[in-house]
Structure 1
Amino acid sequence: MQVRGSYKLSQIKTIFNGILVGILAGSAVSLFRWAIGHMMGLMRYLYVNAAAHLSLLVLAIGINIVIGLLVGWFLKQQPDIKGSGIPQVEGQLLGEVDYNWWSILWRKFVGGILAIGSGLYLGREGPSIQLGSTLGQGVAHFTKQIGFDRQVLISSGAAAGLSAAFNAPIASTLFVLEEIYHNFSTNIWIVSLTSAITSDMVATYVFGLKPVLYMKSTPLPLKYFLWVVLLGIVLGVLGRIYQMVILSMGKWYRHTKLPWYFNGIIPLILVIPLGALFPRLLGGGSDIILHLSAAGYPTLVLCGYLLIRFVFSMISYGSGLPGGIFLPILCLGGLIGAIVGSIAINLGWMNPFYFSSFIIMGMAGYFAAISKAPFTAILLITEMVGTLTHLLGLAVVSLVAYAVIDLLNGKPVYYSMLQQLLKVQSQLNLGRSVQIMVSVYAGSDMDGKKVRQIEWPTGSLLTKIERNGVEIIPAGDTLVRWGDTLFINVSTKNQHAITQKIIALTNET
């Protein structure tokens, strides 16, 4: 067994890289947020006044058709800017997807501003994650870092992008670990946290310290927690419906006669009357979330808003325009929570004082169910709302919603989208290999075995083991232990299947 002691120097280097990626991602995403906000203000003005002024209606239609054609041209040139970008980032870190960083960066930036700024029911967080990861890829390109070092920069950029979009550095780091990597590697979380905090500092300088979804609220007393369990069940069931519908939208759009890259014209036309009738519902949904607790909407109005947001969110995202589902999911969850809370209050079983607590718990539970990332959901809402007093309620509703959707056989939505993406991409690159990183869990098939005793899948080669901060060059008699991080070269031929077999060997049995 050979041990190398360059680990600490390597860690310092990657932390400095994380700071660099955080500054770049924070600056780019802050500009992205600023441009979207200003454009949406302009488009909202056009939609609201279009009914009374024919010239403004013609102008709004003309602008949106041009946006659809321009962004469609971008999509035709570079299909990997489609949608939120999170499945593409996951695929890139798995080695299943790769692309030119600059080609994606500027098209996603411009296309995302145009699509989201037009008022479509799309979120900025998915594109922000892809923008950040792409900037990480660019840093790796200029510093000539490859393999695992490149993966670290890409993942830290993803955390930085989400952090700048939501001012939530802790949740952003956890999202990368829980949703993208599905393990808690020291290498990944240190650099991701560094870049996320740096990015958040940049965004805070631009937008201020106030949390993105700050609202006054009072934590729910334990005597009302039966309603929290009920809310979690409702969120789990509706979350499964959301998964099924959004994953089938591609089939619906294939029935249109438009080329796939021009499908965005459909929601861009439909958003004009919606913007005129319901201007507060435009965009990702932060506006309506912030007004739910104080507006005093009747239950039927809340149900109508939920239906409109659900249907048009599907139409918006299904078109393939650059934009995410992160914030729209939170908006739908907040509306569901508001409906359940409103029913409880109208029946006289709940004090209206706790209405906003249901909005907050609804957001967390719906996201936990659809993404199957409950830890991220709890921390994300905590950071976005700006209070720690709801942790117990957030935890309960997230766990119940997660359990319900698991019973309904729901899969993480971004993983399912990645599978759809891979089905339509030809897998060439037969003679190449990529490096993956996996952690060994206690009780797994690998735990306690020597390297030569492990049935390694054909097309894989163990190159390095990291244990307690020490890098080990493995030999046949090297013992693999729980907590080890394995660095494995995997052939790009059947790479996904090989990777899944390795993950099965390292996970708990």
Structure 2
Amino acid sequence: MKILVADNDKLKLTLGGIIVGLLSGLVVSAFRWSIAKLLVVFQGVYTAARSNYLIVVSLVILLAAVGIFISILLKSEPNISGSGIPQVEAQLSGEMKLNWWPILWKKFVGGIMGIGPGLFLGREGPSIQLGAAVGQGFSEMTHENGAFQRVLIASGAAGGLAAAFNAPIAGAMFILEEVYHNFSPLVWVTALASAVSSNMVALYVFGLRPVLDVPYKFSMPVKYYWHLLLLGIVLGLLGRLYQVVLLSMPKIYSKTRIPRNLQGIVPLILIIPVGMLYPMFIGGGNGIIINLPKLGIGLTMLVGLFVLRFVFSMISYGSGLPGGIFLPILNLGAIIGAIYAVFMHDLGFLPLAFESNLIIFAMAGYFACIGKAPFTAIILVTEMVGSLKHLMPLAVISLIAYLVVDLLNGAPIYESLKERLNIDNSFLNKASKFNDRLEISVFEGSPIEGKYIRDIPFPKDILIIAIYRGESQIIPRGDTVIKAGDRLVTMVNASKRAKIKRILEELIN
């Protein structure tokens, strides 16, 4: 009977995931389409402003007004600030309660108005939060709560990323690797169902062409793989620099004495001269990535482009405007790959024909080390470029870059951003009338591996109701031995879930 219930739960959540995915696909596709169209309009206006001071004055007034409008949205709902991924992580871990409807429409409107003028922000973070809000809204309408609600929120987030990048597998993987940090069957099946259905909507709207259709001529021979080691080290060092600078931006902005919700006016005004000088280089950066091999620009220009993109990405995201860092990170990685390829070509160590290859590889490596999510990086770039030929070099460079940042004590960027959220968790001190499900995975080398349950100092406020070992379900007893790979299913008071999760993670890991 227990297996039947579990199967019914999976089927119910899978169907729910499909519906959430379809809804997320519609919302995110509209969001993505609006940003792309608005960016084209602003690029034309910036170009026209070069010879018309009246347009420049009008732009200053317009974008200042946009900044004030977004500041009103931020003041009324601070949780639409930034990418939204840290907020989703905090929500799924039980540390934060969010109201889905205000976040849905305010993030949608604020994201379009903040990203559309050409700021160096990505659509993917907001897309993940929009999808999560859709999942939460659906779960509340269907009266789901606890674990089922969280799974639907996570599936919506996966659908949001899938629709933003036409990358359904990466959407599901990101939720598992970056948010949940384990492969719970309830989560991955529902997330995959949502991601696939959401991607179907995006494919219908935007077509089958890969988001980053980077042209390349040849697969990289093994004799040049030593370049992957060097480039991986460079990416790791620059990735750690990215983490440090990004996390210090709120402190830098505080020195301006501009109220936090009004700081978005700064990048919105600064984008005007940038857009007038380099209209082709503004925005999230996917157009730059696609055209980078065709530009034929020299090393100095590439370095200048990297500095411009790096500095203004920090200014854009650090202001707190609704917008992400996902795509800007990939863009910076692509530019680093191009710089390395041109530099090594000038030294006579690498044919320039492999520039496109290194652009593709460096995107994965840079995201892998900054987000510390190498599997997501590999799959994401594979899906975005539409080719499976790069899996081995993608894995090599992602691993090297990841290890470099790890040696430099770099933490996952979204986890670090989550820790800096101003979270009101006063609700955690109030006992709930509901119990909630909490799953914890036992990894290889865990301190409790090989121990009897009765000998493990579990918190008194939990009840272990099941142990999943592969596809088998074990009813726990005092003499049950814990093994690596087990998933412990516990019941806790809903208000204490986040606190007990931290205690169990410290105990088990």
Superposed CA deviations along residues 190-239 of structure 1, whole A, max 9, x for unmatched, are 11111101111100000000000011112211111111111000000000
**8 A Cα contact 1:173 1:196, kept in partner:** yes
Name the residue aligned to 1:104. 103
Q: Which amino acid counterpart does residue 446 of structure 1 have in structure 2?
A: I
Name the residue aligned to 1:240. 240
3-state SS, counterpart of residue 486 of structure 1: strand
Name the residue aligned to 1:374. 374
Alignment partners' CA distance in 2, 1:98 and 1:426: 8
**8 A Cα contact 1:129 1:157, kept in partner:** yes
Q: CA deviation at 1:449?
A: 3.6
Q: CA deviation at 1:493?
A: 7.2
3-state SS, counterpart of residue 457 of structure 1: coil
Name the residue aligned to 1:125. 124
Alignment partners' CA distance in 2, 1:493 and 1:136: 21
Alignment partners' CA distance in 1, 2:102 and 2:454: 44
Matches within 5 A, 1:191-270: 191-217=190-216, 218-270=218-270
**8 A Cα contact 2:428 2:496, kept in partner:** no
Q: Which amino acid counterpart does residue 238 of structure 2 have in structure 1?
A: L
3-state SS, counterpart of residue 148 of structure 1: helix
Runs of 4+ in structure 1 deviating by more than 6 angstroms, as ranges, are: none
Name the residue aligned to 2:289. 289
> CA 1:223–1:468 in structure 2 vs 1: closer, same or farther (change >3 Å)?
closer
> CA 1:16–1:3 in structure 2 vs 1: closer, same or farther (change >3 Å)?
closer
Normalised TM-score (structure 1):
0.95
Alignment partners' CA distance in 2, 1:260 and 1:490: 37
Alignment partners' CA distance in 2, 1:223 and 1:417: 40
> CA 1:475–1:113 in structure 2 vs 1: closer, same or farther (change >3 Å)?
same
Matches within 5 A, 1:379-458: 379-422=379-422, 425=424, 427-432=426-431, 435-457=437-459
Q: Which amino acid counterpart does residue 309 of structure 1 have in structure 2?
A: R
For structure 1, which segment, 370-379 or 181-190, has the greater mean C-alpha deviation from structure 2 after superposition? 181-190
Q: Which amino acid counterpart does residue 234 of structure 1 have in structure 2?
A: V
Alignment partners' CA distance in 2, 1:351 and 1:309: 26
Name the residue aligned to 1:62. 61
Alignment partners' CA distance in 2, 1:252 and 1:435: 41
Name the residue aligned to 2:86. 87
Q: Determine if the alignment matches structure 1 residue 76 to structure 2 residue 97.
A: no
> CA 1:469–1:431 in structure 2 vs 1: closer, same or farther (change >3 Å)?
farther
Name the residue aligned to 1:356. 356
**8 A Cα contact 1:46 1:57, kept in partner:** no
**8 A Cα contact 1:122 1:325, kept in partner:** yes
The unaligned stretches of length 5 or more in structure 2 are none
Matches within 5 A, 1:273-312: 273-312=273-312
CA RMSD of superposed structures (Å): 1.9
Q: CA deviation at 1:103?
A: 1.2
3-state SS, counterpart of residue 421 of structure 1: coil
Q: Determine if the alignment matches structure 1 residue 177 to structure 2 residue 176.
A: yes
3-state SS, counterpart of residue 418 of structure 1: helix
**8 A Cα contact 2:17 2:193, kept in partner:** yes
Name the residue aligned to 1:499. 501
Name the residue aligned to 1:23. 22
For structure 1, which segment, 47-56 or 37-46, has the greater mean C-alpha deviation from structure 2 after superposition? 47-56
Name the residue aligned to 2:46. 47
Alignment partners' CA distance in 1, 2:431 and 2:3: 27
> CA 1:501–1:268 in structure 2 vs 1: closer, same or farther (change >3 Å)?
same
3-state SS, counterpart of residue 267 of structure 1: helix
Name the residue aligned to 1:166. 165
Alignment partners' CA distance in 2, 1:472 and 1:3: 11
Q: CA deviation at 1:348?
A: 1.5
Superposed CA deviations along residues 117-165 of structure 1, whole A, max 9, x for unmatched, are 1110000000000000111111110111111111110111111000000
Matches within 5 A, 1:482-493: 482-490=484-492
**8 A Cα contact 1:148 1:437, kept in partner:** no
3-state SS, counterpart of residue 428 of structure 2: coil
3-state SS, counterpart of residue 345 of structure 1: helix
Name the residue aligned to 2:35. 36
> CA 1:6–1:481 in structure 2 vs 1: closer, same or farther (change >3 Å)?
farther
Q: CA deviation at 1:71?
A: 0.8
Matches within 5 A, 1:457-468: 457=459, 459-468=461-470
**8 A Cα contact 1:3 1:473, kept in partner:** no
3-state SS, counterpart of residue 429 of structure 2: coil
Normalised TM-score (structure 2):
0.95
Alignment partners' CA distance in 1, 2:238 and 2:496: 35
For structure 1, which segment, 457-466 or 489-498, has the greater mean C-alpha deviation from structure 2 after superposition? 489-498
Q: CA deviation at 1:177?
A: 0.7
**8 A Cα contact 2:95 2:425, kept in partner:** no
Alignment partners' CA distance in 1, 2:230 and 2:470: 43
Name the residue aligned to 2:9. 10
